[in-house]
Structure 1
């Protein structure tokens, strides 16, 4: 266990005004915690920054709290386990206008925080470190994270949210405390890192990146991070807050593919070389249209729900969807489709009656029955979506 031998530097100035708080989550980090706190204190002293170090302790049993206190840090006990829970409590307890957060395993260099603080002083509200620009030391990041996990998840974040961030999951970042608290961050696990960037982008905060370095951590025990479990939690969060990517675009693709199949096969079977497409393909085309329509309507509902719950701000396209999917339009469109479907169903029954309720041409019957079912399903979907949209917008 590391002993606290570094000089304790006064953290809070005489007037009590703290410009920056450095928050570190901690769970049994006695081997490296003292080094991290000493570097943070040295950063404040060398750059004339009025600051404090806040240790968000998640229930350490190795004496981490004593080490932190002996070096002048303020310890905040966080009973709820999890990376996000610890950081959220530390940020809430911080007294600085700005907050920098970083792991307490000595993998990030707290002496290099000045570029972060400079960008915050210039008006940026969330400044992310970028390890891929600053440098990743040998052995500091597993190959799975370096070449697959982080690049793929960061690409997904940029694609879904148009966020100008190349390293979504860098653990060293700094931000305007009031702005980040205003986002209402809720996750308690590792996905807290993604939630902060996503909600900051959706809320229109000013984001920036600066290069930073990553070194091998100084612990002898395995890290708390679990690659596949935590990677899935990040991806799940990114998808959950991107209804267009998760629902709308797949819905458009399915609906268009199904519509093309319907238009091609309603007049009759189609031969593509040795392959003959008939009413079975027509049935699957109708199912594709139904599923696509459901996904698109759910995307609209999810988007409106997010606006209502203040998960993201509204937009011109959201307001257009709100108008188009109103209860009045939904009732009209749904009613027309539902009635049309019922009329086709009656036509099929009348055709059957005309044949004496005997055997019928299956292909001919299905080319009436499938559109009937399709229109009834779409009609009900439009009615339900209209009422649900009204519920979310009242």
Structure 2
């Protein structure tokens, strides 16, 4: 089920997977650049996130099946613009960076741009999350030949091309599966960087050792 206060097509759609992010949503949505339509995919929030996002002018998609990949893919299916971006909805990333990140894809110089995290202060990116990410980056390089320093929580590609990848992971492995299948398809993959702030609220994934372990487990399954 979807609800929206937007009627006109826009140059780009920004998919924002959301699980209990009411505290962060005003900050995030206020920074979505002109020309980009925010698609907030509510993944079973109990804090009124969906209702708040709608009041703030976002297009809201309800995805009852829990999982980061399920939310991302529901947003992709709801997108209508040529360019589609994905971004965490916890205020750790500033959507105002989006035009710069999207520029190589928009110009036709790249097929997928991943924005690696550059922590702005101590504690923004916990040690266990950085170690897990580093290990996955090495495994991804061995599997695909693509040299990455991060799996890019902000990323941009063309909608039709993303749909053609036929991604199937609906858990934490979704971002990695996107990279692996894109590399296998011969996509031009670029990496840039964005500032990474301490998130608002508690992380469902990288905020705990258990969450990080589950994410690494899901992504290792993708690489296998």
TM-score relative to the length of structure 2: 0.90
The answer for the alignment partner of 2:37 in structure 1 is 52
Greater C-alpha Rg: 1
CA 1:142–1:188: 2 relative to 1, 3 Å: same
1:81 equivalent to 2:63? Answer: no
Runs of 4+ aligned residues of structure 1 deviating over 2 Å after TM superposition are: 134-137
Q: Give the drift of 1:11.
A: 6.0
Quote the Cα distance in structure 1 between the aligned partners of 2:195 and 2:41. 23
The answer for the alignment partner of 1:101 in structure 2 is 86
Quote the Cα distance in structure 1 between the aligned partners of 2:6 and 2:65. 27
Quote the Cα distance in structure 1 between the aligned partners of 2:195 and 2:219. 22
The answer for the alignment partner of 2:145 in structure 1 is 162
Indicate conservation of the 8 Å contact 1:115/1:210, yes or no.
no
Quote the Cα distance in structure 2 between the aligned partners of 1:175 and 1:57. 22
The counterpart of 2:188, out of the listed 203, 206, 218, is 206
- Structure 1 residue runs of 5 or longer lacking an equivalent are 1-9, 45-49, 241-394
More helix by percentage: 1
TM-score relative to the length of structure 1: 0.52
* Structure with bigger RCO (C-alpha 8 Å, 6+ apart): 2
Which secondary structure does the structure 1 equivalent of 2:22 belong to?
Answer: coil
The answer for the alignment partner of 1:278 in structure 2 is none
RMSD, aligned CA:
1.5
Number of equivalent positions: 214
The answer for the alignment partner of 2:24 in structure 1 is 32
- Structure 2 residue runs of 5 or longer lacking an equivalent are 206-210
Q: Give the drift of 1:136.
A: 4.6
Quote the Cα distance in structure 2 between the aligned partners of 1:145 and 1:69. 32
CA 1:74–1:34: 2 relative to 1, 3 Å: same
More strand by percentage: 2
The answer for the alignment partner of 1:151 in structure 2 is 134
Q: Give the drift of 1:51.
A: 2.4
